[in-house]
Amino acid sequence: MEKTDRRTIKTCRALTDAMWDLLNEKKFDNISVRDITEAADINRSTFYLHYEDKYDLMDQMIKDLLAKFNDPKPAGTTPFQEMTINHYQNSVTNIDQNYRRFKILFCHPDIFDFQAWLADAYFSKSRLPHDFPDDKRIDYEFEVNYFTAAIAGTMRWWVLNDRPIPADRMAEKLYGIHQQLFFS
């Protein structure tokens, strides 16, 4: 197991915290590496020891944030049937615990497309057989796009409206809608 130097952890945390703060103030395109390093009180050369550029930093920040989502636990035969209340609770709790960061991301759709990420996650987990008929594949793609647009839009609404429903109730509501859509 590789141990990361505490100074490296502290430096990377300072850079990511600075980037989150800057994103709260201005558009990603208007943020420079110089802005990030000044806000983090880190030398530019130190920045480049850890990241190629601001895009690499942002990519890593998003990956770290999304790594906190658990995979749905298998319960059925399709990704939709695999979704459980525990998955919804984990997802909503993750967004709730990282509320500020998700709010920033939802305010910057040019940086991060939550719906596209969800769709990619479902498509990558689907493992459709190679001989899957075209009409069934189209039906499946339609359902995934509809479902992810609904979930992403609802999560975006919840975050941008300062979480008007408690997280546990939000998870229950999402799961209930999921059940009605796919199991009625």
Measured at the CA of 43, the angle between CA 41 and CA 44, to 5 degrees, comes to 120
> Do 52 and 83 share a domain, yes or no?
no
C-beta separation of 126 from 106 below 8 A: no
The region of weakest confidence among 82-91, 107-116, 172-181 is 82-91
> Do 21 and 83 share a domain, yes or no?
no
How many residues make up the chain in this entry?
A: 184
* Tokens linked to 2: 């590789």
> Do 84 and 59 share a domain, yes or no?
no
> Do 100 and 166 share a domain, yes or no?
yes
- pLDDT tier for residue 150 given thresholds of 50, 70 and 90: confident
pTM for the whole thing?
Answer: 0.80
> Do 31 and 73 share a domain, yes or no?
no
- Tell which phi-psi region holds residue 106, choosing left (phi > 0), alpha (psi between -120 and 50) or beta: alpha
C-beta separation of 11 from 46 below 8 A: yes
